[in-house]
Amino acid sequence: MLILTCPYCGVNAEETELHPGGEAHLARIGPNGTDDEFEAYLFARKNAKGVHFERWRHAYGCGKWFLAARCTATLQVFGTYRAQTPHPPADIVEAIRKARPDWTPDWTPAEGTAE
Ligand SMILES: [Zn+2]
């Protein structure tokens, strides 16, 4: 069973206490976006076998949305973090790299941050 730690209330919640919210870190398309960009925002998802970043809601707890990094093949959880975080925190990226040395992030690291 998948167990995730809510980063807000600290509870180790079983999957049945949570509500899945799909892929994390989707970039919203503004009013100047093209039809193709909007279609990709609405329908294109990674559906990765391996490291994946997801949105979850602590539905039967504090009710807040948070993000989780886990492996979809093994259910190994690398960590959870607050939903307002634009990219996974450095400690979670480090945990992923330790467990999956061949994994590379698919975002461009921001200037002045660890990732
Ligand atoms: Zn919670």
End-to-end CA distance of the chain: 30
Reported as type and span, the H/E element at residue 82 is: strand 77-82
In angstroms, what is the span from residue 60 Cα to ligand 1's centroid? Answer: 8
Domains of the chain, each with CATH number or no CATH: 1-26+45-115 (3.30.2270.10)
Chunked mean pLDDT (size 10), the chain, 115 residues: 96 96 91 93 90 97 98 95 94 95 80 48
How far apart CA 88 and CA 78 sit, in angstroms, is: 10
State in Å: Cα 106 to ligand 1 middle.
28
Nearest one of 15, 30, 93, 24 to 65, comparing CA atoms: 24
pTM of the model: 0.86
CA of 46 to the centre of ligand 1 (A): 26
- The tokens for 112 are 């002045």
